[in-house]
Structure 1
Amino acid sequence: MRVVLAVSELGSVRAAADAVGLTPSAVSKQVRRVEDQIGRALFVRSRSGLAPNAEGQAIAGYAKRFLDLASEMGARFDRELVAGRVRLGITDDVGLAKMPELIRRCAAIHPGLRIELTVGHSSELRDLSSARSLDLAILSDGGFELPSDAIPLSSVPLVWIAGAGWRDEGGDLPIAISDEGCRWRAAALTALQGAGRSYDIRCTSPAMSGQLSAARVGLAVAPVPATVAALEAGLDAVRTSLPDLPKCHLGLVGDVAANNAVKTTADEICHVFGTEDLA
């Protein structure tokens, strides 16, 4: 099929031979073989070369469709049979929320793929990625703006959460937030100030687990990504009385084309987390 298509498109046995990596005599033999199998001539031969007749044009059309389908099939099975190790960094807040779905999906579709997880803050993962100690890393914009070359994943709303049964009694709002320099901390305080709501910082924790614990025991409310809140037992999103919070953004960094295993993992991450424009 490749030979017939090449001769049809290039109009020359020699040019077709160069294109498909065969000798001119081998190309001529394959063309005659196809003609013998079909039982009719496919090309009009002249001193200037070969031109496809009506049958030749029809066969060339079938050949192109056949080769496109073969390429599509090969690409699919190449991806499904992918194998290898991928070192993936994820944050301990947003990144972990969808990790079970990603791991289950990869195990079912790509059983030869081995994902090794490193959990840490986005700044740590960024540095590991830059040092090539990670193949891929999912970063959040809680501590810094995402790198310009990051693949933007779907944003996640920030929500206020509190222990089950918590009620807003008015007055100073007890809050549990991250330490200075956290963009989510700044967003929460800005939202409260913009709403004219006074607050009392009851817990400061650089780790999301500290903020969640403070909320769970009723010490304070905490601003966290909605995906995290949905997974935490004993915590509820506060949907009234408190000001709305902005979205947090995620980005995938790393050399996504490093090899087939990394590319496949990156594609699966984009499928599970979703993608969007940061604008």
Structure 2
Amino acid sequence: IALTETGSVTATAKALNRVPSAITTRIQNVESQLGKVLFIKSRGKFHPTGEGHLLYESALKIIELVTSAEDQVTRPRPGGRFRIGALDSMAATRLPRPLARLYQNHQSISVELMTGISRTLLNAVLSYELDAAFIADAPIDDRLERMPVYCEELVIIAAANFPLIKHPHDLCRTTLLAFQDGCSYRDKLTTWLKSAGIRPVRLAEMSSYHAILGAVSAGMGAGVVPKAILETFPSTELISVHPFDRAHSSVTTDLIWRKNEKTANVIALIEILRALE
């Protein structure tokens, strides 16, 4: 870089605090290694060849990247890949607005969104697969830090003609439609049933809330969903909605991240969530 910009071995040596012979030897070594002539001397000045100029431009980009990386470490700013996990329902209802604001405010951030059940997302944060995640009823864990974000109301849904559900016994002969084991919302419903000594007669595991809503509307059974997800279902006339015991139907969603790893991206997201409260 210095030789291209100065055109002088002497000036380059002075700038780099080296002897001129060291600069000459270094250039010769690089040319020998690459098998290309990088400089031509004309009228007492060194001029880069086409290959030399290409190497010069690439070297400038490398210096810029290294400087940017060092700056990010010493003075972190939001940017780069941001891996976020969220419950399926939250990704559809709560997250679009804060994520849109995050993109507007920090255009160098690239979000990668992973959806899943709470246990899967928790493990992904702890195993460094995610930078942060929104999960329901996050367990106490010294390896994590958290921030309460939303309070969700869960409701039981059944077919439109299903009798009123007031007590766990009203579901004793009904197939339950839910996510796989490890889903916080499923745990809430089964805990409510167990409080009355009821075990599901049958359980069908689904991979999405829209699958649950579709199966419920077809009369396959009953399920539990966040009330907010019903706004995304176009055929609400096909289902009935049943609130249940508040001690079991109220869920707090936390944003979690690894302890002592509140990155600039996590801080930016937290600031946006607080601004949108």
TM-score, normalising length: structure 1? 0.54
Residues 251-272 of structure 1: per-residue CA shift (max 9 Å, x gap): 1122586443331123224445
Residues 48-81 of structure 1: per-residue CA shift (max 9 Å, x gap): xxxxxxxxxxxxxxxxxxxxxxxxxxxxxx99x9
Letter in 1 for 2:252: H
The structure 1 residue matched to 2:268, chosen from 260, 264, 267, is: 264
| Maintained 8 Å contact 1:174/1:200 | yes
1:145 aligns with 2:177: no
| Maintained 8 Å contact 2:158/2:217 | yes
Between the aligned partners of 2:88 and 2:189, the Cα distance in structure 1 is 19
Q: Partner residue of 1:191?
A: 192
Q: Partner residue of 1:115?
A: 111
Between the aligned partners of 1:156 and 1:203, the Cα distance in structure 2 is 23
1:252 aligns with 2:246: no
| Maintained 8 Å contact 1:162/1:216 | yes
Residues 172-202 of structure 1: per-residue CA shift (max 9 Å, x gap): 4453234455553343244356579896436
| Maintained 8 Å contact 2:98/2:269 | no
Q: Partner residue of 2:153?
A: 157
Q: Partner residue of 1:167?
A: 162
Between the aligned partners of 2:211 and 2:222, the Cα distance in structure 1 is 12
| Maintained 8 Å contact 2:120/2:182 | no
1:228 aligns with 2:223: no
1:97 aligns with 2:93: yes
The structure 1 residue matched to 2:121, chosen from 122, 125, 150, is: 125
Q: Report how many residues are paired.
A: 191
> Is the partner of 2:161 in helix, strand or coil?
coil
Between the aligned partners of 2:275 and 2:78, the Cα distance in structure 1 is 17
TM-score, normalising length: structure 2? 0.54
1:204 aligns with 2:205: yes
Letter in 2 for 1:101: R
| Maintained 8 Å contact 2:117/2:183 | no
Give unpaired runs (5+ residues) of structure 2. Answer: 1-74
Letter in 2 for 1:253: I
Q: Percent identity?
A: 19
Q: Partner residue of 2:64?
A: none
Between the aligned partners of 1:133 and 1:248, the Cα distance in structure 2 is 25
> Is the partner of 2:128 in helix, strand or coil?
coil
| Maintained 8 Å contact 1:205/1:211 | yes
RMSD (CA atoms): 3.7
Q: Call closer, same or farther: CA 1:176–1:104 in 2, change over 3 Å.
A: same
